[in-house]
Amino acid sequence: MRRKEAISVLGGLFPGARPRSGSCRRAAPAVDSTSTPPQRYLCSKSTPISLVSSRENGSRPSAQAFRISRSKTRLFASSSTTMDSSAAQNGKPGGAWIGSAGAGGIDLRSDTMTTPTASMLAAIQSCSLLDDVFQEDPTTLDLEAHCAALAGKEAGLFVLSGTMGNQLALRSLLTQPPHGVVCDYRSHIVKYEAGGVSSLTGASVKAVVPSNGIYLTLEDIKANVYLDDDVHTCPTRVISLENTLNGMIMPLYEVRRISKFARENGLKLHCDGARLWEAVASGAGSLTDFAACFDTVSLCFSKGLGAPIGSVLVGDKIVIKHARWVRKSIGGGLRQSGVVTAAARVAVDETFGKGPNGEGGLLHKTHSLAKQIAQMWTDLGGKLAHPVHTNMVWLDLDDAKCSPDRIHELGTEEGLKLYYNRLVIHYQIYQNREAVVPKLERIFRAIMDEKSKNSAGFEGTNGERSMYQSQ
């Protein structure tokens, strides 16, 4: 039996499974996670915090009043004071499928902290369970085809992580040394992928500082590529762009300029689009518009979209076939992958939206909230380390004379998880905003109150701290 026929037969055997076309029907989720769930929020058992508690006198509450001890922390439904014990089971089997009422609703460290929803669980329960190394699993094949169609590319490959997507792309676009990759010096591929580019490809990486401080321009690229055949140089073969980077957008017109240059000079172009969804949701261009500029695009399901696991690499059939081969070689060939791809499909449909512009999705509202939170900080006298384009707010903590440990501590007192100077306003924070925003306001006020006291002798962090460094 040919593969296509096999899939349609299997679609009949598995009523919840979708055939490969992007328009096919999916089993309706039992729970609609797009609607705001009943308001629940973290508060101390003994000191419930009112839901919208913008404090009238503006003074800072005593740390004692709002200190939330981990052992006493409970979740209450806003409509009553009844304790919701299932919600308190964050992280424990059985009680964690509660969307923004769970761990994700109080965690601003990253959008990777979004937790899977009840509708993802429903999709997992009705997914197909066939072998993906044999390319027989309809749920997985359908997700790959759907993402490829959204991006206007020929093919897609489900991978376990954003790192795997980037590394497979680079390994597939590069051939043999000497070869080089040019990218932004802050790129995930250079800073946070365990040196994979050099160990997996042998390429040398040219990490470039963008002259405008925000994104690389064609002029930055031209000044850093090696195009000639001088035997002393390492010839550039791939340009790798990240969009968004630190939540900031590389505009479509700049991507197009770089793409034209790359094509004219025989260079391949990869996009680390872990958060390209965010750029699209902000109105910067459609997924298809951006993807048309690149040979390969890696898109993450497990960041702002909220799936538990996975990314997809899209590109033309030949490069994706090669990437599938490389994926197998590093142990990324999956068997019954439907259990993860079913959740990823819900993440795309419900959080990003149904079409290439993120139609009906949830992300753009998070961007407005991020801007409001940034405004709240600057209104109190704070400065920002980067402009807010999408879902990330970067506080200038050095200017505020606040140490990473102190903001972490203030967050813990309020029952929020904060990390250093980055606040990520993902969709579960948006859904829990009535609880989170007043807490942030109190934290911001506390930082500003302490600023003058800390002025003398504050050393600052000067320089970057790894996103993954522990507190």
Write down the least CB distance from residue 309 to ligand PLP, Å.
Answer: 8
The CA distance from 42 to 23, in Å, is 40
Write down the least CB distance from residue 67 to ligand PLP, Å.
Answer: 31
Does the footprint of ligand PLP cover residue 272 (CB under 6 A)? Answer: yes
Candidate segments 160-168, 281-289, 384-392, 404-412, binder of ligand PLP by CB under 6 A: 160-168
Q: Which residues contact 141 (CB under 8 A, 6 or more apart)?
A: 7, 20, 135
Decide: 143 and 307 in contact? Cβ < 8 Å.
no
The smaller minimum CB distance to ligand PLP, of residues 272 and 295, is found at 272
Burial class (CB in 10 A: 0-12, 13-18, 19+), 404: middle
Candidate segments 146-154, 161-169, 325-333, 341-349, binder of ligand PLP by CB under 6 A: 161-169
Residues in 175-204 that interact with ligand PLP by CB under 6 A: 188
Please identify which residue in 11, 102, 162, 338 interacts with ligand PLP, judged by CB under 6 A.
Answer: 162
Please identify which residue in 274, 319, 339, 400 interacts with ligand PLP, judged by CB under 6 A.
Answer: 274
Write down the least CB distance from residue 419 to ligand PLP, Å.
Answer: 12
Decide: 250 and 215 in contact? Cβ < 8 Å.
yes
The CA distance from 139 to 124, in Å, is 10
Does the footprint of ligand PLP cover residue 163 (CB under 6 A)? Answer: yes
Does the footprint of ligand PLP cover residue 345 (CB under 6 A)? Answer: no
Q: Which residues contact 189 (CB under 8 A, 6 or more apart)?
A: 166, 167, 170, 181, 183, 196, 197, 205, 240, 242, 272
Does the footprint of ligand PLP cover residue 109 (CB under 6 A)? Answer: no
Q: Beta strands 296-300 and 311-315: pairing type?
A: antiparallel
Write down the least CB distance from residue 162 to ligand PLP, Å.
Answer: 3
Q: Using CA of residue 355, residue 358, residue 359, residue 362, what is the dihedral sign?
A: positive
Sketch the per residue contact string, 225 through 264, with ligand PLP: x for CB under 6 A, - otherwise. -----------------x----------------------
Does the footprint of ligand PLP cover residue 426 (CB under 6 A)? Answer: no
Does the footprint of ligand PLP cover residue 349 (CB under 6 A)? Answer: no
Among 70, 81, 77, which Cα is nearest to 98's? Answer: 77
Helix 404-414 and helix 433-454, axial crossing angle in degrees, nearest 10: 140
Which 3 state secondary structure label does DSSP give 299?
Answer: strand
Residues in 110-129 that interact with ligand PLP by CB under 6 A: 112
What residues make contact with ligand PLP under the rule CB under 6 A? 112, 161-163, 166, 188, 242, 272, 274, 300, 302
